[in-house]
């Protein structure tokens, strides 16, 4: 895209405490592993691992874990100048290790305390992608701040992106969530949504790919990626639609697999790959994450995204 900074991710940086063993419910868990998390943070870190120039705008507590998180992200090469530490405690989420869809319990604190002063508006002319999530948009003041920053980014020619990763535990007011996703998506946004998240957000128990794609394109989205877990994904814009099947992989944990997918997709898009090739790069990155319990290695070879290309 010819800009010096590849992506700014706005939203949550938090602590995931993931069960050490595969369990169905948190009641079965007795041992947890501490992992840096939060969907925008995961995306930002994964793209940094791939050699992208990334910025994370997030709020953590002015506590020990807030400092640990900020230092961890910085070590991977992410620009942390837009991370602030506030009086609220660092947000924590308990997560079940799962081979399918994880269960979780959030304990929210600092994540929603973003301020407009954190965003580097003077650098937006050199920014390629501005990304956020439903979690990041779920609570004020962060919601209003992110929407304001996204609108300014779009006016500066920045490509917007969203993971519509809606969950009622995070955002109880589903109608408000629908309105906010629509407001964000209408700005020519790249939309990623899973079948599970679409059902949670819109109450459609059996969403068809065509209906999901049409839903977001009619809002004004530029591209839609509809992920179906192990079954693959659909990618589409106004001119073309493609289905990419999933492949069998040994699953060590699903937490963060969607973020890994989108990091591969967006990196390929920055590399000016085709729509289907972006999906293939996303699938490859997700497969790498599914094969790891915890974070990926500090460096992931960018060319490894493209090993499936003819």
Check residue 101 and give its pLDDT: 66
Check residue 246 and give its pLDDT: 93
pTM over 0.75: yes
- 84 strand-pairing partners: 59
Check residue 269 and give its pLDDT: 98
Check residue 296 and give its pLDDT: 85
Structural domains in the chain, sorted by start: 5-306 (3.40.1190.20)
Note the pLDDT tens digit of each residue in 210-231.
999 999 999 999 999 999 999 9
Q: What angle do CA 57, 60, 66 make, to 5 degrees?
A: 125
Check residue 42 and give its pLDDT: 95
| 173 SS3 class | coil
190 vs 222: CA distance, rounded Å: 6
Segments in the chain below pLDDT 50: 1
What is the b/e burial string over 104-130, where b = at least 16 CB atoms within 10 angstroms of the residue's CB? bebebbbbbbbeeebbbeebbeebbbb
Specify the residue for token string 């699938």: 283
Burial of 307 (0-12, 13-18, 19+ CB in 10 A): exposed
- Strand intervals (E) in the chain: 5-10, 14-22, 32-37, 54-61, 83-86, 92-97, 104-107, 127-133, 159-163, 190-194, 223-227, 232-236, 241-245
């Amino acid at each position: 895209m010819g800009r010096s900074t590849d992506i700014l991710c706005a939203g949550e940086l938090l602590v995931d405490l993931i069960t050490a063993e595969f369990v169905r419910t948190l009641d079965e868990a007795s041992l947890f592993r501490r992992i840096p998390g939060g969907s925008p943070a995961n995306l930002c870190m994964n793209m940094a691992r791939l050699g992208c120039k990334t910025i994370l705008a997030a709020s953590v507590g002015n506590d020990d874990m807030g400092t640990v998180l900020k230092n961890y992200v910085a070590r991977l090469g992410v620009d942390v100048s837009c991370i602030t530490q506030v009086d609220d405690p660092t947000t924590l989420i308990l997560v079940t290790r799962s081979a399918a869809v994880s269960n979780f319990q959030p304990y929210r604190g600092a994540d929603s305390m973003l301020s407009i002063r954190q965003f580097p508006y003077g650098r937006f002319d050199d920014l390629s992608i501005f990304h956020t999530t439903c979690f990041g948009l779920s609570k004020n003041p962060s919601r209003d701040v992110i929407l304001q920053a996204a609108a300014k980014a779009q006016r500066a020619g920045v490509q917007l992106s969203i993971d519509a990763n809606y969950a009622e535990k995070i955002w109880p007011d589903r109608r408000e969530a629908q309105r906010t996703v629509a407001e964000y998506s209408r700005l020519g946004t790249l939309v990623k949504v899973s079948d599970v998240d679409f059902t949670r957000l819109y109450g459609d128990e059996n969403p068809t790919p065509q209906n999901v794609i049409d839903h977001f394109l009619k809002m004004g989205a530029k591209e839609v990626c509809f992920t179906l877990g192990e079954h693959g994904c659909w990618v589409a814009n106004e001119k073309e639609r493609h289905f990419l099947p999933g492949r069998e992989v040994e699953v060590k944990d699903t937490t963060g697999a969607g973020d890994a997918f989108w990091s591969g997709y967006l990196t390929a898009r920055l590399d000016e790959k085709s729509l289907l090739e972006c999906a293939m790069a996303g699938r490859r990155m997700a497969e790498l994450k599914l094969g790891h319990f915890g974070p990926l290695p500090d460096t992931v070879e960018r060319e490894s995204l493209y090993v499936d290309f003819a």
